[in-house]
């Protein structure tokens, strides 16, 4: 059983005291406090739906990968029937990790310590010296299986939660599902991963990356200035218009989930040319700037059939390009110039896995539509690797700031500072834009990030 967690820190500080909801401030101490971190592990990472990977990583019976739910290591495996299971990678005998490899294929997972064995669904097979009953006689075999998480698949994405009473994933996503369906559910074949995920350990608190994923557009003016200077975003950076694809747009947010939808016309002008994109129809725009991997007539027609007219309008006017899912998912859909001068695109998902109050693992998956031609998949991966992941130019900038914030939160005076979310634009839904989630059009301000902290506050103070 999990231990009871006291919502009051040892110095008498209540979690509620870490927030000023009226002035929209959060104590900087949240970015390091070890006690708060332990409460997060139990109030957030055992309660909410967490992203673990994609079904294309385990296509065959017996395939498995090892992932994390908070600091708990889990086995994500496919059984003989094709069902996906998520089980705690801890042997109930003496606490040994059962799977010590990151991935593989096995009909049975056998602990190297005492030989206890488990099926892919987590059920207990038996222990060596069966006649001597080395598994004991107190518990029957059906009680000795691995602890199992609930699993839900969403367009092939694998989510799990330890909370057996949690509402379905759709409730956690809310109206934002309308936008996530655009990113992940456009084609019949769905997505597939382009190789195993990258992993990078960053010496920072997981929330530094988590809250930035809720549409922090302001930092692009300074932190990513070099990307403008070298032409990675297009333009010359001499005016705010040159930052439009990353600073301006339409932010949508709900329940801590957020996405920034960036003007397709602005992106086209910066990366392709000066054609009057605004005068084109929705379908003409989509053919000029298709989403990642939608490069054949078949895939284009599938997208038109699977997405609603409202969703197709969003993609043609301002497609969702950067954001995240509460609590620890970052999403990046990019257009980027390739070395040969053509327009490339890529789709990445990051998981921000906490490892300690001052350490998290940054895991990056690269995606493409399964039925996209192979040469296009390779070009998409090249564009995505150039921008995101461990070698990505943009994320090298981001990962430089997060450790500094965490270090600042350790200091006696530093921890008394506050994170301020006071640049609020307010609800602003453009004409013709779907009435889905909270919509903030214009200059990217703090509205969506404040939603992230409001959701954090709600979960942590329940």
List, as one string, the DSSP characters of 277-313. GGGS-HHHHHHHSPPTT--SHHHHHHHHHHS-HHHHH
What pLDDT is attached to residue 315? 94
Same domain, 232 and 307: yes
pLDDT above 80 (res 173): yes
Q: Indicate whether 422 belongs to any domain.
A: yes
Q: Indicate whether 444 belongs to any domain.
A: yes
Q: Indicate whether 30 belongs to any domain.
A: no
Cα–Cα distance, 196 to 351 (Å, whole number): 14
Same domain, 176 and 156: no
Same domain, 231 and 93: no
Q: Indicate whether 342 belongs to any domain.
A: yes
Distance of CA 94 to the CA centre of its chain: 33
Same domain, 223 and 314: yes
Same domain, 125 and 184: no
Same domain, 221 and 352: yes
Residue pLDDT, tens place only, 18-68: 999 999 999 999 999 999 999 999 999 999 999 999 999 999 999 999 999
What pLDDT is attached to residue 1? 47
Cα–Cα distance, 21 to 457 (Å, whole number): 10
Q: Indicate whether 240 belongs to any domain.
A: yes
Token duo for residue 86: 């998520």
Average pLDDT over residues 189-206: 96
Q: 147: domain CATH number? A: 2.102.10.10
What is the count of structural domains for the chain? Answer: 2
Same domain, 203 and 106: no
Cα–Cα distance, 325 to 452 (Å, whole number): 9
Q: 399: domain CATH number? A: 3.90.380.10
Decide if 351 contacts 363 (C-beta within 8 A): yes
- Cα dihedral 88, 109, 192, 164 sign: negative
What pLDDT is attached to residue 367? 96
Q: Spell 62-85 as b/e; 16+ CB within 10 A means b.
A: bbbbbbbbbebebbbbbbeeeebb
Which of 126, 147, 165 is the C-terminal boundary of a domain? 165
pLDDT above 70 (res 234): no
Same domain, 135 and 180: no
Please state the φ and ψ torsions of residue 428, each to the nearest 5 degrees.
-155, 95
- Helices then strands (H, E): number in the chain? 13, 22
Q: Indicate whether 411 belongs to any domain.
A: yes
Q: Spell 1-23 as b/e; 16+ CB within 10 A means b.
A: eeeeeeeebeeeeebeebbeeee
- Is residue 377 exposed (0-12), middle (13-18) or buried (19+ Cβ within 10 Å)? buried
Same domain, 96 and 154: yes
Helix pair 264-271, 309-317: axis angle to 10 deg: 40
Average pLDDT over residues 302-316: 96
pLDDT above 90 (res 137): no
SS3 call for 234: coil
Cα–Cα distance, 271 to 244 (Å, whole number): 12
Same domain, 83 and 180: no
Same domain, 161 and 241: no
What pLDDT is attached to residue 136? 83
Average pLDDT over residues 219-245: 63
Which of 147, 165, 183 is the C-terminal boundary of a domain? 165
Same domain, 441 and 297: yes
Which of 165, 192, 219 is the C-terminal boundary of a domain? 165
* pLDDT band at residue 133 using 50, 70 and 90 as cut-offs: confident
Q: Indicate whether 7 belongs to any domain.
A: no
Q: Which domain holds residue 142?
A: 50-165
Cα–Cα distance, 96 to 90 (Å, whole number): 6
Q: Indicate whether 377 belongs to any domain.
A: yes
Q: Work out the number of other CB atoms within 10 angstroms of the CB of residue 173.
A: 22
Cα–Cα distance, 181 to 151 (Å, whole number): 19
Name, in order, each residue with C-beta under 8 angstroms of 222's C-beta and a sequence gap of 6 or more. none
């Amino acid at each position: 059983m999990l231990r009871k967690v006291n919502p009051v820190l040892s110095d008498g500080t209540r979690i509620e005291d870490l927030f000023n909801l009226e002035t929209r401030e959060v104590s900087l101490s949240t970015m390091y406090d070890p006690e708060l971190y332990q409460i997060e592990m139990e109030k957030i990472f055992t309660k909410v739906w967490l992203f673990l990977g994609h079904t294309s990583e385990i296509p065959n019976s017996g395939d498995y990968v090892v992932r994390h739910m908070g600091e708990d290591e889990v086995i994500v495996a496919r059984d003989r029937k094709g069902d996906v299971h998520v089980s705690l990678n801890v042997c109930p005998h003496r606490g040994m990790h059962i799977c010590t490899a990151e991935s593989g294929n096995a009909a049975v997972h056998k602990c190297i310590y005492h030989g206890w064995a488990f099926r892919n669904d987590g059920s207990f097979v038996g222990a060596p010296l069966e006649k001597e009953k080395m598994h004991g006689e107190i518990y029957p075999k059906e009680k000795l299986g691995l602890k199992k998480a609930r699993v839900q698949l969403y367009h092939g994405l694998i989510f799990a939660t330890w909370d057996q009473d949690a509402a379905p994933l759709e409730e956690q996503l809310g109206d934002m599902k309308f936008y996530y369906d655009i990113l992940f559910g456009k084609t019949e074949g769905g997505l597939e991963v382009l190789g195993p995920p990258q992993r990078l350990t960053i010496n920072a608190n997981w929330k530094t990356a988590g809250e930035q994923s809720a549409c922090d557009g302001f930092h692009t003016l300074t932190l990513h200035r070099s990307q403008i200077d070298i032409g990675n975003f297009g333009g010359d950076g001499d005016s705010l218009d040159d930052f439009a694809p990353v600073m301006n747009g339409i932010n949508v947010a709900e329940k801590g989930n957020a996405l920034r939808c960036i003007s397709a016309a602005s992106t086209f002008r910066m990366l392709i040319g000066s054609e009057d994109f605004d005068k084109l129809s929705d379908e003409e725009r989509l053919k000029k700037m298709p989403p990642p991997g939608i490069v054949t007539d078949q895939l284009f027609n599938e997208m038109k059939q699977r997405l609603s007219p409202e969703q197709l309008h969003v993609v043609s006017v301002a497609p969702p390009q950067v954001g995240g899912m509460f609590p620890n998912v970052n999403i990046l859909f990019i257009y980027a110039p390739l070395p040969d001068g053509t327009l490339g695109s890529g789709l990445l998902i990051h998981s921000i896995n906490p490892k300690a109050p001052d350490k998290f693992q940054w895991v990056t998956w690269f995606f493409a539509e399964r039925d996209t031609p192979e040469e296009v998949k390779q070009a998409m991966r090249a564009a995505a690797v150039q921008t995101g992941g461990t070698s990505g130019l943009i994320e090298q900038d981001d990962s430089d700031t997060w450790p500094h914030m965490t270090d600042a939160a350790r200091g006696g005076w530093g921890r008394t500072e506050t994170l301020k979310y006071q640049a609020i634009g307010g609800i602003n839904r453009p004409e013709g834009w779907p009435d889905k989630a909270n919509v903030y059009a214009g200059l990217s301000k703090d509205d969506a990030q404040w939603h992230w902290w409001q959701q954090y506050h709600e979960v942590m103070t329940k």
